[in-house]
Structure 1
Amino acid sequence: MDNYASFIGEALEKTRCRECVPSWEEIQVLMGRQEMLCTVHYPGPGSCQLHISSHTTANEVVRRMLEKLGLKESRNTFSLFEQNAHWERAVGGSTIIADILTRFENLSAKEPDSDSQWRLCFKLYCLLDADAISVDSIEYLFLFEQCHEMVVRGQLPACEENLQTLAALRLQSVIGDFSTHSPCPPLDELFPGHMVEARLLMPPCSPPALLPATQPPAQGCPPPQRFPGGLLGGALWNHTATAAHKQKVEQDLRLRSRLKEEAAAIMSTIVECWKGLAGYSRRDSMAAYLTIARQWSGFGCTLYEVDFYISSTGCFSQKLWLGVAATCVSLYRQGEAEALESFPYGQICSYGVSDSNTFKITAGDRDLLFETTKLTEIMQLMNAYFSAIRCQHGRGDDVVSITEGTAIEVGFHHLPPTPTPTLLELPSHPV
């Protein structure tokens, strides 16, 4: 009875409604008055198993992971992420972990493909002080692994030569010295795929020459006869469509063949570079990798794709990256290292969601509008950085408040209310 009373008491303290119907596994565990086991992965091959109840939140799991991994003294902040091979998102701090596990179970039943398997991952979230991370700490491994994720996704602007060096350093850190018997991972786990495809970009085909205008019939000659509509049209169309399809198939085969050739050439260069790293320890390889990555001025920021950008001064552009970092928000052309514009947090008066797919930042006397599908993610991360910065400045109680239907007020200026909720909560990191 004491266990039941304790369970009910803890559950009542957290009035957040469950998002999913409890799974059969959860019901069985509850009937046996036991706790569930939850596997939390972290960058690299590591994972931890934690006992959770039906009302354990993401914030609680993060605190326990910080204790287990000895990261409580870190100046950086961490979060739980739900992820599969192609997608990830930070988990809100008050989210019930049992709901996430039930959703994973439901998704896995619908999508049994191994690439679609879901998991919880504990990762660096706000990189506030990369220099303070000890090279011997597990946090340094987090930084290395998450940096490599950015490289493979094509989110670290660097020349091809540097990217090949990074791939070789990755092999040295993971496998050690080159050996003909060492299993080599596929290229897409070492090198950004878009760089391979970029080698195959062909100049746009010139438009076909215009046919000469039909000469009018000579005087006295009967006009040329036309076949009745539909008489041969079907036969001609079928023949043309078949020829076009055959040509496309042949073109695709040639393209795939060239992709394989380019990938093999790049892999060969990487392996040669790897051979030259013989004797490098894992620690040396990781340090050399991060030294090259830090050459980019935006190192440590999180990049979000922006479909369209316009400012009140008339500047506009398409297909950009919005980089959210510890000190500023910056705009980059995709693949370019230099920022188009950068806005330190001290200049940002307000930020928020202005409609279903538009994010608005007011910096000084400028209004900046970004069209993106990552509204919640951008909002969460900016909230987290502002909260962390204020805590570090000794203003821990004066955190950014989050309410539905209003913008987030950062300084003297705030966005007008919108009927759409701007954000539900901060991600799962204690700040």
Structure 2
Amino acid sequence: MYISLRDRPKAEPVGRARRGRVSSTVVTLGVVSLLTDISSESVAAVLPLYLTSAMGLSLLAYGVVDGIFQGASAVVRIGGGWVSDRTDRPKWVAFCGYLLSAFSRGWLVAAQGFAAVAALVTIDRIGKGIRTAPRDAIIAASADPDDQARAFGVHRALDTVGAALGPLLAFVILAVVPGGYTVVFVLSLGSAVVGVTILGLLVPDRRPRRERAATGTRPAPFRWRHLAEPRLRRLLVVVGALSLLTIGDGFLYLSLQDRDDFAAHWFPLLYVGTNAVYIALAVPLGRLADRWGRTRVLVLGHLGLLGAYACALVPAQGAGPTLACLALLGAFYAATDGVLAAVAGSLVDPAARASAIGAAQTVVAVCRMVAATAFGALWFALGRTESLLVVAILMALAVPCYLIALSRRARRSRPAEAAP
């Protein structure tokens, strides 16, 4: 099982950023994502307290809502990519997804009862699933072929700034206005509406097939066979297998909390620490992926995750192991999130780019949901240390196998690459 190291996309000259610069379209989409993440994460931060304290629902009810929040977008991501490719309108498919999420924010202010909140959270997550692949396809189309991972890094850094600001703004509001959940929801709605407006007015309507026709290249219509590209299939298998060993941030934080008082005392800020590292490393690791090899950086990211598991297993207490775990976890996301989209989009014809990105994101999301469920059962059966050790050993075995496969592919590719 291997993936070609030659994952650079074919040149598409229309509307590209010049070499060494990030397209204004990428930055604008980053601002849209920043505002949308402020909207979604401010709600996610207060949702547990709102449902259990303000609405008086049980922890079981919150568990159902949280499961919807984490997983509902996974099942529609490939559908959003497919519609984008079929219609050749990625901007407006993404716009519909953002608009759907903004719609859910407006009704959340007036929602009463478990069923209403669960339905609105589902609508919001469906909107996220619809918009993700078309938006990433626009980023890939707007970036220089040799700088796509860097472009995704810029976008993801801005996106993560919003993910960090949302909870902070929510907690500031609740500190100033105790019980002011309605104020948080109004902030969320306003941020989402501004983001949708910027997308509709400022982001150009990139149409891959029309742009290829304008350059004299006969545009290929979307075909499902595009997704049967062997390199894409291998990528999906590999990232799916590795994602089955990705247990999720919450379990790592709970493991750190269970080990010592430092993590327990600062638990609410552990998420902020991971996001801060992500913001700092997203662009440098994207640049490294474009220069050194995107699939290699994917492997490097999973080595970082393995290091995070090791830090969580270290019996030593105090700030050192906890901060190292957060740094390695943030590096893992910076090396895999945007880079995976850049790799998947480069392995197929541009007519199927959004579908390929959506397929990769769907596989990762579904496998991580399975991993979280399985690890929860494993923790219940074996305990914290033993269950984490099992996953760390499996990851330690999987990553070298991936490295060996990559090296074998590189050796096989050299004669062809040397040919004129």
Same fold judged by TM-score > 0.5? no
More strand, by proportion: 1
Max Rg structure: 1
